[in-house]
């Protein structure tokens, strides 16, 4: 198990990014959350099996087709007490 935090910048708000992020997280069986930030970025915390987290992180670098990811910063974090993945 591992946990990561991701900050995604670019055209990532108003394009369904959070909805598709939750869909991908559920598909990868991850727990955590995604939320819009006031600076126009999207912030994500996700945890699960290593390979699933890696697959999810790769997806976040691209995002859904309507988005345009300019920057994607990913860093490890301690495991949290998440039970499911949700949109904040």
Known catalytic residue: 18? Answer: yes
Marked catalytic residue, from 36, 61, 68, 86: 36
Marked catalytic residue, from 18, 61, 68, 86: 18
The candidate with the shortest Cα–Cα distance to 42, out of 22, 13, 70, is: 13
Distance CA 12, CA 64 (A): 9
- Provide Rg for the chain, Cα atoms: 12
Known catalytic residue: 61? Answer: no
| Active-site residue set | 18, 36
């Amino acid at each position: 198990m591992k946990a990561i935090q991701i900050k995604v910048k670019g055209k990532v708000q108003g394009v369904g990014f959070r909805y598709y992020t939750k869909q991908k997280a559920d598909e990868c069986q991850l727990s955590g959350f995604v939320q819009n930030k006031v600076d126009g970025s999207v912030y994500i915390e996700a945890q699960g099996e290593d390979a699933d987290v890696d697959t999810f992180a790769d997806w976040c670098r691209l995002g859904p087709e309507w988005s345009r990811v300019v920057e994607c910063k990913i860093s490890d974090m301690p495991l949290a007490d998440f039970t499911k993945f949700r949109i904040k």
